[in-house]
Amino acid sequence: MLDRRPIVGGNWKMNMTRDGANRLCHSLLVRATESKINTEIILYPPYVWLTDVADILSESFIKLGAQDGLAESNGAITGGVSLTMLSELVDGLLVGHSERRNIFEETADKFSQQLIAALGIGLLTTYCVGENQKEQEAGLTYQVLEKQISSVFEGATGQQLSQLVNAKPAALVIAYEPVWAIGTGLVAHVTDVQERAVFIRNEISKYCNVSQLVRIQYGGSVNQKNASELAALEDVDGALVGGASLDSEEFASICAAFSTGSR
Ligand code: PGA
In angstroms, what is the span from residue 59 Cα to ligand 1's centroid? 27
- Answer yes or no: is the C-beta of 219 below 6 A from any ligand 1 atom: yes
The stretch 82-103 carries a mean pLDDT of: 98
Cα 120 to its chain centre, rounded Å, is 17
- Residue 156 has what pLDDT? 83
Atom number, ligand 1, closest to the C-alpha of residue 222: 3
| CB distance 155 to ligand 1 below 6 Å | no
Tell me the pLDDT band of 262, cut-offs 50, 70 and 90: low
Pocket test for ligand 1, best of 15, 177, 226, 247 (most atoms within 8 A of CB): 177
> What's residue 10's pLDDT?
98
pLDDT(1) > 90:
no
Which of 221, 245, 250 to mutate to test ligand 1, by most ligand atoms within 8 A of the CB atom?
221
Q: How confident is the model at residue 261 (pLDDT cuts 50, 70, 90)?
A: low
Q: Is 96 in the pocket of ligand 1 (CB under 6 A)?
A: no
Cα–Cα dist 132/136, whole Å: 6
The b-or-e profile of 23-42 (16+ CB within 10 A means b, else e) is ebbeebbebbeeeebbbbbb
Ligand 1 centre to CA of 22 (Å) is 21
Question: Is residue 76 over pLDDT 70?
Answer: yes
CA-angle at 114, arms to 112 and 120, nearest 5°: 100
- Mean pLDDT, the chain, as a whole number? 96
Distance CA 251, CA 43 (A): 11
Query: For residue 8, is pLDDT > 90?
Result: yes
pLDDT 10s digits, 102-147: 999 999 999 999 999 999 999 999 999 999 999 999 999 999 999 9
How many Å apart are CA 161 and CA 186, to the nearest integer?
33
Please tell me the predicted confidence (pLDDT) of residue 2.
58
Minimum CA distance residue for ligand 1 atom 7 = 242
How far, in Å, from the CA of 198 to the mean position of ligand 1? 21
Ligand 1 atom nearest to 128, measured from its CA:
9
Q: Indicate the helix (H) or strand (E) that contains 32.
A: helix 18-34
Nearest to 185 by CA among 242, 144, 252: 242
Active site (catalytic) residues: 97, 177
Ligand 1 atom closest to the CA of 245, numbered from 1: 3
Proportion of the chain above pLDDT 90, given as a percent: 94
Q: Is the CB of 242 under 6 A from ligand 1?
A: yes
Q: Is the pLDDT of residue 260 over 80?
A: no
With 0.85 as the threshold, say if the pTM is over it: yes
Residue 244 has pLDDT above 90, yes or no: yes
Residue pair 214/173 in contact (Cβ under 8 Å)? The answer is yes
pLDDT tens digit sequence for 147-182: 999 999 998 899 999 999 999 999 999 999 999 999
